[in-house]
Amino acid sequence: NYLRHVESMSQLPSGAGKISQLNAVVLGESLASEENDLIFPSKEFSGQALVSSPQQYMEMHKRSVEDPAGFWSDIASEFYWKQKWGDQVFSENLDVRKGPIRIEWFKGGITNICYNCLDKNVEAGLGDKIAMYWEGNEIGVDASLTYSELLQRVCQLSNYLKDIGVKKGDAVVIYLPMLMELPIAMLACARIGAVHSVVFAGFSADSLAQRIVDCKPKVILTCNAVKRGPKTINLKAIVDAALDQSSKDGVSVDVCLTYENSSATTRENTKWQNGRDVWWQDVIPKYPTSCEVEWVDAEDPLFLLYTSGSTGKPKGVLHTTGGYMIYTATTFKYAFDYKPTDVYWCTADCGWITGHSYVTYGPMLNGATVVVFEGAPNYPDSGRCWDIVDKHKISIFYTAPTLVRSLMRDDDKFVTRYSRKSLRVLGSVGEPINPSAWRWFFNVVGDSRCPISDTWWQTETGGFMITPLPGAWPQKPGSATFPFFGVQPVIVDEKGNEIEGECGGYLCVKGSWPGAFRTLFGDHERYETTYFKPFAGYYFSGDGCSRDKDGYYWLTGRVDDVINVSGHRIGTAEVESALVLHPQCAEAAVVGIDHEVKGQGIYAFVTLLEGVPYSEELRKSLVLMVRNQIGAFAAPDRIHWAPGLPKTRSGKIMRRILRKIASRQLEELGDISTLADPSVVDQLIALADV
Ligand code: 6R9
């Protein structure tokens, strides 16, 4: 029915047009609900799109789930394999009741993702095409590399890494800001079969040390400092502290290769440990510009990326080579309707999964021109993004709702004073995009002309799972629309029963897809417990979701103890562990609250040791504790003094009640009679504004 409805609507002469106008014409029903808001791609857009109609999508999706082996091996054949995979394209066990969880794609296939990103493109004649435009923090500071130049830079670093003894399977930690050296470092590791673990350069020394201790790298790649907006951040000092810490914990790193970022600070101002620290620019240019590829099995590890879960210890999500390669390349191509003439900018940092899959690997596997931006998107003012868009004639712009919301608070003239006419497709990731931010992004940034790919996915999934294909379906603001090829989302109830049709519940996935993570580094049991045990037979995402009458998916946020702050995943337990390290803190409980720009903010209830008085100074030092333990992005927005916490008789903290108090929904506290001491609730309410 919906398909027929879409067909009839797309016959209308106006094509795309402003939101709601078409509804008014066709539906003739209530426009109040977002579900009924349909935004069609223009005929012009659909006409040139890779997937140009719902029917085409449905046929492709049908084949992808009925014959995954055929579907994915056809695509994989377009890439370079030193040796083709074995008889089985994939094999899996996703049911804990049937034995250990296991996912394998293209096993026995021998390839290299760096080769497919670089050498293959150069050989295909793209050597002189720009691979990367780099934009520095300050206006006018920029650089670029062609595919040939990028390949040479990568080879030099690969040769160096080999020279200092890094071998296939060794871990390499990368702690770099958005310099070209960050994607270069990732690709150089991939070239020699080393497993990179990029740590976002906003994490504190303690967090960095924790990751180093977990994956035990021989070498760490960093730079001396970086400027973000008006601030200079001395990264090398953070690395020094992390390396001190990790060696106390028994893991010492032999080499710290440090890029001299002269726009931020000087060599003289950088503390140095001879024997361990090496200036990048002193050694790398001396190495040969070509380097043999280390051919690896499709199932050999490509990278580790730590992410937050509902317990204190971050999880090392492990991705392997072949499936991840095919999946990121394919999702990039279709979700952004990629064409070889596009110039693509993803504002994410390579420290997060988005920067792995959609700054580095996905785009480069397609031979795309990628923009890498060092700075802050509102520096020197709110027009910076559109200045960059015009400068490089960017056609695909991929960002996070938090950035959209922060920019929409400023005057539209920061947008409209730039042309933006090169833009063709917009993208959103990291958290649900609220319909008003969606509309502003669509109407103001995209001049009501560019479809928005609202891509739902996770560190664990490797690539897009639910996403619009911009030329296929009409969009609904705030919905990630439909599953990508090969993906079978299911919504289950509390008991794990699949619910059909229009419904809401927990979002799971049936069957595997090539980009799925294979394990948690060093802890396969936690992998099974966290993702495959809650609803046996399915991968559990940790997200809530509903499906509307037309089959569109609407993500509603995390259902576990993970908070999403500006698109960054933060475990409540991590923040709590940091707070209780404070010598005057007895106990802490953290919940998420709505935040106008960040999506969610961090709200911490803190119980102090007996007799310690509340003070503003103490509040600041608690926040500082979290900044030092995790990083500035995890700093609590609010500390609420708590003489006691609402607990059940068995001692379990009732977060439901804390969430209501934090959001001041005091009439909705619900039943508090099961609390060991119901009077703590009144005490908390009394302290709400202290
Ligand atoms: C890619 C990335 C994953 C969590 C995920 C969900 C939220 C991401 C979203 C979205 C609604 C979207 N999320 N994209 N929610 N709509 N388009 O962000 O990975 O850092 O692992 O976070 O982010 O809650 O579970 P990661």
Ligand 1 atom closest to Cα of 567? 18
Which ranges of 308-430 does DSSP label H, i.e. alpha helix? 322-335, 353-355, 362-365, 384-392, 401-408, 413-416
Strands (E), 486-614: 488-492, 498-499, 503-510, 519-520, 539-547, 553-558, 562-565, 568-571, 585-595, 599-608
Which pLDDT band holds residue 7 (cuts at 50, 70, 90)? low
Ligand 1 atom closest to Cα of 568? 20
Ligand 1 atom closest to Cα of 557? 24
Q: What is the mean pLDDT of the chain?
A: 94
Of 354, 555, 556, the residue with max ligand 1 atoms within 8 A of its CB, to mutate for a pocket test, comes to: 555
| 8-state DSSP, 118 | T
Ligand 1 center from residue 430 Cα (angstroms): 4
pLDDT of the residue at 650: 86
Amino acid sitting at position 272: W
> Which residue among the candidates 454, 560, 561, 689 is catalytic per the annotation?
560
* CA torsion angle 353 354 360 366 (round to 10): 120
Largest CA distance in the chain: 74
> What residue owns the CA closest to ligand 1's atom 19?
458
Which pLDDT band holds residue 2 (cuts at 50, 70, 90)? confident
Which pLDDT band holds residue 21 (cuts at 50, 70, 90)? very low
Q: What are phi and psi of 197, to 5 degrees?
A: -130, 100
Residues comprising the chain, all counted: 690
Ligand 1 atom closest to Cα of 467? 17
Which pLDDT band holds residue 646 (cuts at 50, 70, 90)? very high
Share of the chain above pLDDT 90, in %: 92
Residue 427: which H helix or E strand, with range? strand 425-428
Q: What is the ipTM of this complex?
A: 0.99
pLDDT of the residue at 10: 57
Ligand 1 center from residue 555 Cα (angstroms): 9
Alpha carbons 208 and 197: distance in angstroms, whole number: 11
pLDDT digits (tens, 9 = 90+) for 388-399: 999 999 999 999
Alpha carbons 61 and 75: distance in angstroms, whole number: 14
Ligand 1 center from residue 225 Cα (angstroms): 29
Between 12 and 165, the more confident residue is 165
Strands (E), 219-309: 219-223, 226-228, 231-233, 255-259, 277-279, 296-297, 301-307
Between 36 and 179, the more confident residue is 179
Which pLDDT band holds residue 22 (cuts at 50, 70, 90)? very low
Ligand 1 center from residue 224 Cα (angstroms): 31
Of 429, 541, 545, 570, the residue with max ligand 1 atoms within 8 A of its CB, to mutate for a pocket test, comes to: 429
Alpha carbons 472 and 10: distance in angstroms, whole number: 11
> What residue owns the CA closest to ligand 1's atom 4?
458
Q: How far is CA 35 from the centre of its chain?
A: 26
pLDDT of the residue at 37: 83
Residue pair 415/440 in contact by the 8 Å Cβ criterion: no
In this structure, the residues whose C-beta lies within 6 A of any atom of ligand 1 are 307, 352-354, 428-432, 454-459, 480, 541-543, 555, 557-558, 564, 567, 569
pLDDT digits (tens, 9 = 90+) for 550-593: 999 999 999 999 999 999 999 999 999 999 999 999 999 999 99
> What residue owns the CA closest to ligand 1's atom 14?
430
> What residue owns the CA closest to ligand 1's atom 10?
431
> What residue owns the CA closest to ligand 1's atom 6?
431
> What residue owns the CA closest to ligand 1's atom 12?
456
Alpha carbons 470 and 53: distance in angstroms, whole number: 10
User: Residue 379's CB: how many other CB atoms inside 10 A?
Assistant: 16
Using the predicted structure, report yes or no on whether residue 109 has a pLDDT greater than 70: yes
Alpha carbons 659 and 661: distance in angstroms, whole number: 5
Please tell me the pTM assigned to this model: 0.94
| Residue 568: strand pairing partners | 565
Of 318, 398, 520, 543, the residue with max ligand 1 atoms within 8 A of its CB, to mutate for a pocket test, comes to: 543
Ligand 1 center from residue 258 Cα (angstroms): 32
pLDDT digits (tens, 9 = 90+) for 204-243: 999 999 999 999 999 999 999 999 999 999 999 999 999 9
> What residue owns the CA closest to ligand 1's atom 15?
431
Alpha carbons 309 and 412: distance in angstroms, whole number: 38
Q: What is the average pLDDT across 254-269?
A: 96
> What residue owns the CA closest to ligand 1's atom 17?
456
CA distance to 466, 488, 542, per residue, from 531 (Å): 18, 16, 8
Residue pair 628/576 in contact by the 8 Å Cβ criterion: no
pLDDT of the residue at 611: 95
pLDDT digits (tens, 9 = 90+) for 348-373: 999 999 999 999 999 999 999 999 99
pLDDT of the residue at 15: 34
Strands 277-279 and 255-259: parallel
Catalytic residue check, 37: no
Of 317, 428, 431, the residue with max ligand 1 atoms within 8 A of its CB, to mutate for a pocket test, comes to: 431
CA distance to 312, 591, 608, per residue, from 636 (Å): 16, 10, 16
pLDDT digits (tens, 9 = 90+) for 600-644: 999 999 999 999 999 999 999 999 999 999 999 999 999 999 999
Burial class (CB in 10 A: 0-12, 13-18, 19+), 165: exposed
